[in-house]
Amino acid sequence: MRLRHKLPNFRIAVVGAGAIGLYYGGKLAQFGRNVHFLLRSDYETVRKRGLRLRSKGENVHVPRVRACRSTAEIGPCDLVIVAVKATANRQLPALLAPLLGENTMLLTLQNGLANEEFLADHFGIDRVLGGLCFICVSRTAPGEVKCFDAGHLALGEFGGLPKPRTHDLAWEFKRCGVVCSVVADLTRERWRKLVWNVAFNGLTIAAGGLNLAAIVADDALRLEALALMNETIAIANACGQNLPTALALEHLKRTATMGSFKPSTLVDLEAGRPLELESIWGEPLRRAEAAGVAAPKLAKLYRELLALDRRGKR
């Protein structure tokens, strides 16, 4: 599908109204795109007050939002942005079915591994794209998002090299104020991001609810983060991804600029929501075992997070 031929009536659905879904959907809606949001707890507030996107450089109010209570109410779309937590993936086959037309694209912005595979298994590989969100953003109130660092969005095709639609979609995001690029190898870039997520999403929880600034400032935790990142790089490379060993230091340097930001997994824990354990920690650990790569730091962290998650559910 070429977006440039569909723009006047291009329909977009956002499934997952957390920080990521509200931010990227809100940016598209801000610039007049035909965006429909699946909303539940935020529905009444967003219907009355619209969306607010706040950051150091902007305070955006989108007063009129196409808010819907069900995907059946939205109907078939050209693009579906999947921004639910990976813990909700089992609900997606039924949830997304009313949104599918003949050429509907599914763009998952989820963290971790195996999310594209899940969508491809249920809806066909030709529909599936992935997006990597290098951003610090939090939902601060119903219909309100605060962006600490807009970063950038990277798009790729799950089924292979970028297609014309990949570049057209990236161009649409750029036209709506989002720094966006296209990657040639989506799987490799997903591993690149996972290196950061494994270490910093995990340690902020395992260390007792610390923010990123506290992790970076603590010598022992900083070294633990580097060790976790190096293990994850070794797993990725055993799986054929060829990540540079310098990536861990690059991630650490960037993390030092993020201040006291709390990653999404820590926010989930504090809110009593289930953690994305399997997609971020469990899946790379299973791939390490399959490839014969020792990952003792990752295995220990996974066990600790599993215990915390179970305790939170109780």
Question: How far apart are alpha carbons 292 and 301 in whole angstroms?
Answer: 19
Contacts (Cβ under 8 Å, ≥6 apart) of 121: none
Q: How many helices (H) and strands (E) does the chain have?
A: 15, 10
Among the options 6, 85, 193, 297, which is catalytic? 193
Cα dihedral sign, 14-17-21-23: positive
For residue 27, indicate whether it is catalytic: no
Question: How far apart are alpha carbons 209 and 76 in whole angstroms?
Answer: 41
First-last CA distance in the chain: 47
- Encoded tokens for 25: 């959907």
Can you point out the beta strands (E) in the chain?
11-15, 34-38, 51-55, 59-62, 66-68, 77-82, 100-108, 128-141, 144-157, 180-182
Instruction: Name the nearest CA neighbour of 266 among 297, 296, 236, 309.
Output: 309
CB of 116 closer than 8 Å to CB of 92: no
* Cβ neighbours around 60 below 10 Å, total: 17
- Encoded tokens for 301: 């962290």
Residues marked active site are found at: 193
